[in-house]
Amino acid sequence: MARVDGYNPKKKRGREEEEYPVRRRQRARAAIGTLLRVATSEWEEVNKSLESAHRRLRGFDVADMLRRRRAGRRLRKPRGRSLDIAHGKLKRLVLLHHAAGDGLWDYGAHHGLPWQEEDEGGDAAARWRAWKQRGDVSDRHADDALLRVRAALRDLTEAVRILHAVSTKPPGFRGPRAVWAAVADRLVRGATDEVAAAQGAVGRMRRAVVLEFFAAWDVLTAMG
Tell me the pLDDT tens digit for each residue of 178-223.
788 888 889 999 999 999 999 999 999 999 999 999 999 998 888 7
Which pairs count as long-range contacts for 130-135, CB under 8 Å and 24+ apart, including other chains? 130/215, 130/218, 131/104, 131/212, 131/215, 131/216, 131/218, 131/219, 134/208, 134/211, 134/212, 134/215, 135/101, 135/104, 135/212
- What predicted TM-score, i.e. pTM, was given to this entire model? 0.81
Looking at residue 61, its pLDDT comes to 78
pLDDT of 8 reads 54
What pLDDT is stored for residue 17 in this prediction? 46
Which residue numbers in the chain have pLDDT < 50?
A: 1-4, 7, 11-17
- Angstrom CA distances, 212 to 16, 34, 59, 129, 216, stand at 31, 11, 37, 11, 6
Q: What confidence score (pLDDT) does residue 4 get?
A: 46
pLDDT, residue 175, reads 58
Query: What per-residue confidence (pLDDT) applies to 87?
Result: 95
pLDDT at residue 108, as a whole number: 85
